[in-house]
Amino acid sequence: MTEGSRAPGAADPATLRALTTSRASTRAMSDELLTHLPDLGDLPTQRALDAWVEQAADTLLALSEALEERLLDLGSARAPDVSSRARHGDPR
């Protein structure tokens, strides 16, 4: 389907796939990163590394959540909520 023939508000399937894949990947990377904490033996260096790893994992998780929100936004644009339509007098 070309850009011009797509229904208004319909998301491109390739975009949805990319967002879904990216969301899953960033969540998995966040979890994976937290499992790889080497023991450095030097307490100050260890604390700095631990803090950096936690910040990186938090950033990946935040990105995953942002991608999920975007997917939800695109999904709600594609399929309006039936209860929302009913509240506005649309009987469909």
How many domains would you assign to the chain? Answer: 1
pTM of the full structure: 0.68
Does the residue 85 lie in any domain?
Answer: no
Interval 85-92 mean pLDDT: 47
Q: How confident is the model at residue 9 (pLDDT cuts 50, 70, 90)?
A: low
Angle, CA 24 vertex, CA 61 and CA 73 arms, to 5°: 80
pLDDT in tens, 19-74: 999 999 999 999 999 998 788 889 999 999 999 999 999 999 999 999 999 999 98
Give the chain's end-to-end CA distance (angstroms, integer).
Answer: 27
Domain range for 63: 13-74
CA-CA distance, 82 to 19, in Å (whole number)?
25
Q: How far is CA 59 from CA 17, 52, 56, 92, in A?
A: 22, 10, 5, 42
pLDDT at 5: 52
Residue 82 lies in a domain: no
Is residue 21 assigned to a domain?
yes
